Amino acid sequence: MTQIYPRNIRITGVMEKDRKIIYSTSVLWSNAEEIVVYRTVEDFKKMHKLLKKEFRSSKRSERMVPKFKVTKTANGGQKNGITKSLNYLQPLQKYCNRLLSCDPQVNQSVHLIHFLQPRSEELQPQYFVTSNAMAYPIPQEQMVSQMPPQVVYQTASTTLPVMCTIS
């Protein structure tokens, strides 16, 4: 049995759920299946630390895992909340792009694959209904040129994500 691995990762939306900012992340797998998962910046940080620990190198020039520059780039004096979270979009997308361009040992690692698989609660329809969930459209200037212009709009009244294309 061949192991599937991520071929493309896109940050497609921002959602506030249970007072946490969650990024909607679309993952295209090597078997051509596309799945949307929901992760916080803290989730990305934890995954990055696991990858760094697994692929530790004694020399900086031999670094296998890209640097996680997301928090330093996004903190640029912005307000807290959703305004600040929009500043994380480009750095998160760039980090995901760099991860996928790494050595196959990294981009096909167990830690990355586990991180990008949906959690059991994300598969439940009530995941979006049981809280005050709101999604925010991504402003056009926040879109990364490598990302298709799509946004996930989510409200407390819907049970499944709705993909909308921005024109």
pLDDT at 9 over 80: yes
Give the span between the Cα atoms of 145 and 42, in whole angstroms: 25
Least confident stretch, 2-6, 132-136, 142-146, 162-166: 162-166
Express each pLDDT in 59-117 by its tens digit.
666 778 998 888 655 555 555 666 677 788 889 999 999 999 999 999 999 999 999 99
Q: How far apart (Å, rounded) are the C-alpha atoms in residues 133 and 157?
A: 9
**Stated pTM of the model:** 0.74
The domains located in the chain, with CATH, are: 6-165 (3.30.1520.10)
